């Protein structure tokens, strides 16, 4: 949904205000009119103005140029068009010095003015978008890429695909490093909101006062150090997605304010009185057990029901080990390109270690290990001696479960391709599932087959293939 822009028209001639109001309302804009500076300032303090059209000569001692300076002091990005019946080069120069976007003479050509308003609104939106696009370009590493062959992750993606174009709030939970922000970006950039901004904030990284300012913005003088107006994340995310990371660390006071904003889809900046309405979709994330936080009174249940219309839990990397070869390939290619190195792949010994390691830091830890390995690699493949330089634990040489031998194990006699590594990892993962199902079924093959969703005959074939007694 495209938000309706609000135009402030300030002119002491009622006929001109009335005519311009009809013109712009007929084009679908919201219009607020004023005859003098005092009335205009009262309107600007009560509602968000997207563009202003000011006459130079107004009733009272203050002029349109005075109002221009005051409006630009409050919001430097506000487009302002000056109109006058007494044009001069000097007044035009003065208007531009004070921040006017355009300057036109009376009698006003309606079509020309309409074109100026459209152009200035587009430029203002482009400026806002460009600020975030620049930030996005600095955050390209592993964003929006979901690399997986894991059935659980594929099911999560299918579930998100069915709701991503709605306005439903989504809560993503999972251990640190499992890719919660990656999934949030996937939701945004593959949805109908992809043309709008993706704005993120870490709720655990800021004090309560700073978090409120970051979320809702603040007015000039709202508190010590607030030397100018600040636009908050909610306002910047209008028509897009707001990602609230680590929402489980939010204080009860901020939780209460957030709940009110989500229920009303509007808010005031800190220190302000003007209600600002927004159209956003909220995606929240936490690495805490959100239900335990609710049980212990650390998280509001009413806020949970508001942000978790759809809730997904991302599995840790140790539960999706078949993805390790594919993630490794992605990160190796990414860092090899960054450091202009030619790396073909990974030795089987390294992959065995990575598959048996528990990865407490999940995908983020794997990415860090590969980053170091590529940086230190002197040949065309990542070898075990390269990892040793990274430290045993970080290199994936911890106290993990040993890799199974027999069918599906990696052979050290030659370097396998990444495709072969992926197939072997899938076989290793399947063997683990079968052994787990048999253990839970106390060795009953029929029960184990049902739990695995396969026939008893297929299970017997797999038992023979993997040498499982």
CATH code, domain with 305: 3.40.50.300
Structure token pair of residue 183:
């999934």
pLDDT at 162 > cutoff 80: yes
74 pLDDT tier (thresholds 50, 70, 90): confident
- Tokens representing 38? 């005092």
Percentage of the chain lying above the pLDDT 70 cut: 86
Specify whether 366 is located in the same domain as 407.
Answer: yes
Does some domain include residue 155?
yes
Which of 111, 127, 143 represents a domain boundary (last residue)?
A: 127
Stretch 342-363: mean pLDDT: 89
Could you tell me if residue 137 is inside a domain? Answer: no
Q: Is residue 142 part of a domain?
A: no
- Quick one: 362 and 330 in the same domain? yes
> Of 276, 299, 315, which marks where a domain is finished?
315
138 in a structural domain: no
Is residue 139 in a domain?
A: no
State pTM to two decimals. 0.63
CA distances from 147 to 42, 183, 194, 330, 354 (A): 53, 11, 20, 8, 17
Residue 270 shares a structural domain with residue 337: no
CA distance 86 to 64: 13
CA distance 99 to 73: 10
Structure tokens that stand for 187 in this block: 């939701």
Alpha-carbon gap, residue 401 to 398, rounded angstroms: 9
The answer to whether residue 112 sits within a structural domain is yes
Contact 426, 149 (CB under 8 A): yes
Domain termination residue (choose one: 288, 315, 342): 315
Task: Look up the CATH number of the domain holding residue 381.
Answer: 1.10.8.60
Residue range 86-99: average pLDDT?
Answer: 76
- The answer to the question of residue 136 being in a domain is no
The residue segments making up the domain with residue 417 are 318-466
**296 and 355 together in one domain:** no
**pLDDT (0 to 100) of residue 230:** 84
Task: State whether 110 and 156 are in the same domain.
Answer: no
- Of residues 26 and 205, the one with the higher pLDDT is 26
Q: What pLDDT is stored for residue 138 in this prediction?
A: 42
pLDDT tens, residue by residue, 220-244: 877 877 777 888 999 999 999 999 9
Q: In whole angstroms, give the CA distance from residue 409 to residue 83.
A: 79
Residues 303 and 356 in one domain: no
Note whether residue 304 is domain-resident. Answer: yes
Number of domains in the chain: 3
What value does the mean pLDDT of the chain take?
A: 84
Confidence of residue 297 (pLDDT cuts 50, 70, 90): very high
Contact 466, 426 (CB under 8 A): no
Query: For residue 158, what pLDDT is reported?
Result: 92
Residue 424 binned pLDDT confidence (cut-offs 50, 70, 90): low
Q: Using an 8 Å Cβ cutoff, are 58 and 85 in contact?
A: no
* Whether residue 233 is found in the same domain as residue 208: yes
Could you read off the pLDDT of 310-352 as tens digits, one per residue? 999 999 999 999 999 989 988 998 899 888 899 988 888 889 8
Same domain, 110 and 212: no
Q: Are residues 47 and 173 in the same domain?
A: no
Q: Are residues 273 and 337 in the same domain?
A: no
Closest CA to 44 of 276, 264, 217, 210: 276
Same domain, 345 and 215: no
How far is the CA of 94 from the CAs of 90, 113, 116, 228, 343, in angstroms? 6, 20, 19, 23, 61
Q: What pLDDT score does 397 carry?
A: 47
Q: Are 10 and 54 in contact (CB under 8 A)?
A: yes
- Of 4 and 120, the structure prediction assigns the larger pLDDT to 120
Residue 362 DSSP code: H
Tokens for 462?
């797999």
Higher pLDDT, 85 or 130: 85
Same domain, 337 and 307: no
CATH at residue 50 = 3.40.50.2300
């Amino acid at each position: 949904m495209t938000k309706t822009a609000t135009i402030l028209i300030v002119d002491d001639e009622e006929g001109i205000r009335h005519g311009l109001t009809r013109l712009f309302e007929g084009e679908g804009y919201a219009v607020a009119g004023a005859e003098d500076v005092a009335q205009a300032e009262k309107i600007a303090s009560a509602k968000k103005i997207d563009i202003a059209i000011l006459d130079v000569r107004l009733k009272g001692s203050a002029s349109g140029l005075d109002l221009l300076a005051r409006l630009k002091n409050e919001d430097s990005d506000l487009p302002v068009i000056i109109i006058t019946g007494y044009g001069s080069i000097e007044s035009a120069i003065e208007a531009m010095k004070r921040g006017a976007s355009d300057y036109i003479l009376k009698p006003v050509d309606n079509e020309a003015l309409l074109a100026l308003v459209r152009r200035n609104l587009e430029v203002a939106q482009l400026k806002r978008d460009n600020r975030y696009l620049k930030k996005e370009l600095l955050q390209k590493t592993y964003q929006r890429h979901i690399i997986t062959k894991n059935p659980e992750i594929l099911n999560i993606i299918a579930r998100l695909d069915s709701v991503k174009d709605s306005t439903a709030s989504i809560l993503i939970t999972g251990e640190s490093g499992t890719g919660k922000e990656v999934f949030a970006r996937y939701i945004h950039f593959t949805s109908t909101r992809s043309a709008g901004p993706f704005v993120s904030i870490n709720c655990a990284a800021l004090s309560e006062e700073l978090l409120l300012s970051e979320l809702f913005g603040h007015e000039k003088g709202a508190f010590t150090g607030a030397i100018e107006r600040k636009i908050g994340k909610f306002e910047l995310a209008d028509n897009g997605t707001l990602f609230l990371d680590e929402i489980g660390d939010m204080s009860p006071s901020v939780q209460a304010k957030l709940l009110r904003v989500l229920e009303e889809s509007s808010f005031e900046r800190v220190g302000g009185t003007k209600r600002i309405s927004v159209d956003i979709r909220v995606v929240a994330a936490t690495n805490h057990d959100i239900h335990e936080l609710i049980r212990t009174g650390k998280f509001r249940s009413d806020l949970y029901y508001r942000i978790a219309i759809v809730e997904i839990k991302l599995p840790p990397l140790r539960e999706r080990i078949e993805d390790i070869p594919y993630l490794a390939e992605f990160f190796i290619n990414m860092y090899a390109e960054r450091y202009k190195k030619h790396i073909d792949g990974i030795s089987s010994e390294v992959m065995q270690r990575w598959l048996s390691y528990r990865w407490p830091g999940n995908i983020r830890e794997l990415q860090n290990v590969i980053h170091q390995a590529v940086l230190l690699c002197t040949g065309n493949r990542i070898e075990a001696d390269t990892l040793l330089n990274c430290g045993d634990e970080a290199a994936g040489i911890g106290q993990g479960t040993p890799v199974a031998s027999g069918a599906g194990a990696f052979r050290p006699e030659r370097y396998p391709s990444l495709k072969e590594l992926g197939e072997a990892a899938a076989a290793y993962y399947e063997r683990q599932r079968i052994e787990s199902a048999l253990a839970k079924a106390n060795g009953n093959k029929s029960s184990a087959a049902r739990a695995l969703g396969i026939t008893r005959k297929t299970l017997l074939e797999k038992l023979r293939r993997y040498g499982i007694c």
